[in-house]
Structures are given as structure tokens and as C-alpha cells.
Amino acid sequence: MLYGQVANFKTNSNIPIEKFAIAINSNLKKSILIKSAEEVDEKFHSRLSCKKKKYRYIIDNSKYGSAIYRNLETHIPIKLDVDKMKKAIKYFEGEHDFKAFKASGTSSKNSIRTIYKAEIIEKEDEKIWIELTGNGFLYNMVRIIAGTLVDVGLGNIEPEKIPLIIKDKKRENAGKTLPPQGLYLVTVEYDI
């Protein structure tokens, strides 16, 4: 699986661009790996120039979870109603004020974002992927949406209540913030 973390920096290095990834990797911890490097316009900014991002949140919905992947996904041992979750997630698509889905203390003044695609993917190994593609995300927004969808899957929130939660803009009406284990930035798209 490829995950789309992008960073940019300025340098006066004489290292050829095709050798940059190898040179950087030789000085990094083994938990970080640079896959490629390329020159971009000086105006490019890895965060501000982004047009679209895709996040994935992985839930292990098996009875016992996994010792190996415990730090890479969130374990929820109670069977989730995935059909209800699939119905609920579609309400997040479109342009909305996601104030109810942002963490307190978020510095963003504007909480309006557009979700282009929202889907639940059931995997054969009792994994549930929550995937959201949008033009931007508020701090903890994906984890709060995932928590809200888990509440739907547990029967605590009916799918049809999602539009009202969005409209009311009250954080207390949305689900809890799920842990960071399981959250991945999958791809980032730029207009360059």
C-alpha cells in the first residue's frame, strides 16, 4: 500500500535530484522512507497547494483484534452494522460546514469543506475502511467522522440523523474522536 505524505523544502545541495531520496534515506530513522524527490516551482507548498486529499481510517472489527497491527488500526470488538454505516457516510459528501466534526482548539476560522467521495469498504479479514476524499480537513475531522460512523454501526445514531448533526454544528452531537491508530493519509493531489 502506498501512502501519500508529501513535504517540500528549499536547498542549495549539489546532489542530483534522482539521487536525493537515497541520500536523505541514509540519514533518516528506519521508520521514515522517502520514495521519490522532484523539483517544483518555488511557489509550491506541500500543504497549501493541495487540491484534494484522501484519508483512510482502518477498523479491525474482529472479536479479538491483532497483536501485530494493534498500533496500526483501531480495534472495535462489537460487530458494527456496516450497511447502516454505508448509508450514513453518504450524507458527508458535498460542501458542508463541518464545525461539529472539528476538535476544540482548532485554529481554522472557516470550517466549510467539500467531501468529494465518502465510502465504507469491507475487507475480507473483518477490517472496515472508512475513506474520505476532500479538498481539506479540519484537525481530527476524519477521526470524529469515523467515531460518528462507529456510533451509527453500534446503533447509537441513526444514519438519517447525520444531516441534522452537520446542520446543528454542535460537537457534542457527533461521535467521539477515535484514536490515531488507524488513520492514514493515502493520497494528495496537486494542480501542478
CB 130 within 8 A of CB 175: no
Domains of the chain, first to last:
1-48 (no CATH), 51-190 (3.30.70.660)
| Phi, psi of 94, rounded to the nearest 5 degrees | 105, -175
Round to whole Å and give the CA distance between 134 and 157. Answer: 24
Q: Which of 142, 152, 149, 151 is nearest to 113 (CA)?
A: 142
Torsion of CA 187, 74, 130, 92, to 10 degrees: -110
Round to whole Å and give the CA distance between 180 and 142. Answer: 10
Q: How many percent of the chain have pLDDT more than 70?
A: 98
93-139 tens-digit pLDDT:
999 999 999 998 777 889 999 999 999 999 989 999 999 999 999 99
pLDDT score of 146: 98
Side-chain half-sphere exposure of 85, counting CA atoms within 13 A:
23
Residue 96 C-alpha cell reads as 458542508
Q: How many percent of the chain have pLDDT more than 90?
A: 68
16-50 tens-digit pLDDT:
889 888 988 898 888 788 888 888 888 888 888 88
